[in-house]
Amino acid sequence: MAKANTETNKQEQQIHKATAKIDPKINGLGAKKALKIRHFSGLKEFTADGFKRINLFVGLNNYGKTSILEALYLACNYQDPVSLNNLNTLRGLTLTEPNIDEIINNLFYSIDVKQPIEIDITCENGTERFSIELIDSESQIQPKTANSAKLPLNQAQRQQQFCQNQIITKYRNSLNNKTLEATLELISVPLSNQVMPNKVANMNAANFTFNYERNTQMPFPVVFIHSNYLTSPSDSQKYIRLIELREDKEIIAILKFIEPRLKEIKIIGNGNQPELAADFSDDVKLLPLNTCGKGLLKVFSYLLSICSAKNGVVLIDEIENGLHYSIHELIWEKLDYLAQKYNVQIFATTHSQEMIEAAYRAFKDSNFNNFSYYRIDRKLDKTECTNYDATTFRTAIENNFEIR
């Protein structure tokens, strides 16, 4: 045990030494500085500025903290209209009716689809505007011939009823006045005959087919870790990539602070569905990673997401979920270290006073150069956001003021 503790201390010293060498400023074209949201979810209008590398939002339940992260997720995925349905998946919603209401309507403030959603993000290179507009908000069942729907030849003689609607998303960059448009087309197909029109790409959900065209590659990676997220099948591929880059050891070194017995995370299984397994020093058999404790899985998902989102954005909802208060400060320190190393910007929410106080301890020595704190309040239908500067945040914590 003494030897293990010595190795852990060495790893911690190496990590802190590396942290000191990293420029604390946010670099890269994707750095977000301010956000303005109109007519999205529970937010009629919302404005926040002064973003740094790590940004924490607090506030009462149903005040719009998660909606802020969701708006960032959609705006950062502006070239991928299927992110609209991905957001419903993150929310735990499933499609049950053959119309577009299930996908889109609940994203509009007060379910008023006549007013477009607008999300403005101010970056180092100007202001980006992302908007969502619904075309034909009511389902219309129209008969379509095999030719018009471009069905496969073996189905050419069969005529089907399709329910079809469209969502159009627009993106505009103020720097070069560049405008991109993407359309999501929803087509309901009877379960007894899963036939898809011929499009560039498709994604299936229940008895629906989503067809979309993507103009270019995504400019930077975006990861949304929802409050109920633990792991996903894609984590295996992400971790394999880290192993190839010889960057997996750093994740293990940090996880050892939480579980000292952890020796390694290995890839098991073959083919298209590899799985992650934990190798503990006192166990002969490998344990599937999903059978480990929730806290370990949460921290692993945070670390893996940052390492896999170089020059991108990571969104973490209810960051304290599943984590013991004694490791909160450590978590902030390691997230800050990896965010600097991989040039990632983090936006997170919390209800936890312990998590807030841990952030204060983790960032106070740098005078909060990498950290911004925001409190969300609501007066009637108006959402207000207060950015606590370093002095105000320090005073509030040191005097035990309630700032959640």
Domain limits, the chain: 2-27+222-398, 78-212
Q: What percent of the chain has pLDDT over 90?
A: 45
Of the candidates 343, 266, 331, which has an alpha carbon nearest to the alpha carbon of residue 307?
343
3-state class (DSSP) for residue 13: helix
Q: Give 225's pLDDT tier (boundaries 50, 70, 90).
A: very high
Task: Report pLDDT for 123.
Answer: 85
pTM of the model: 0.79
Strands laid side by side in the 382-388 sheet:
222-225, 313-316, 345-349, 54-59, 371-379, 382-388
Q: Please, what is the average pLDDT of the chain?
A: 76
Residue 167 vs residue 42, higher pLDDT? 42
Residues 402, 356: Cα–Cα separation, whole Å: 11
Of 104-108, 233-237, 282-286, minimum mean pLDDT range: 282-286
CA distance 61 to 274: 38
Render pLDDT for 67-110 as a digit per residue (tens, 0 to 9): 999 999 988 887 666 677 778 777 777 665 545 566 677 889 99
pLDDT above 70 for 384: yes
Strand 126-135 and strand 117-123: the pairing is antiparallel
**C-alpha to C-alpha distance for 85 and 88, rounded to whole angstroms:** 5
Three-state DSSP class for residue 146 = coil
Of the pLDDT bands very low, low, confident and very high (cuts 50, 70, 90), residue 125 is confident
Among 139, 81, 141, 147, smallest CA distance to 113 is for 139
> DSSP strand E in 269-381: where?
275-280, 287-288, 313-316, 345-349, 371-379
Architecture of domain 2-27+222-398: 3-Layer(aba) Sandwich (3.40)
Q: Which residue has the higher pLDDT, 95 or 37?
A: 37
Q: List all residues 6 or more positions away from 390 whose beta carbon is below 8 Å from its beta carbon.
A: 367, 368
- Give the residue, 388 or 9, on which the prediction is more confident: 388
How does DSSP classify residue 308?
T
pLDDT, position 211: 43
Looking from the CA of 47 toward its CB, the CA atoms found within 13 Å total: 1
**389-396 contacts, C-beta under 8 A, 24 or more apart:** 393/360, 393/368, 394/360, 394/364, 394/368
pLDDT tens digits, one per residue of 319-348: 999 999 999 999 999 999 999 999 999 999
Q: Is the pLDDT of residue 174 over 50?
A: yes
Query: Tell me: the pLDDT tens digits for 346-365?
Result: 999 999 999 999 999 999 99
Reduce the DSSP state of residue 395 to 3 states and report it: helix
Which structure tokens are listed for 64? Answer: 């719009």
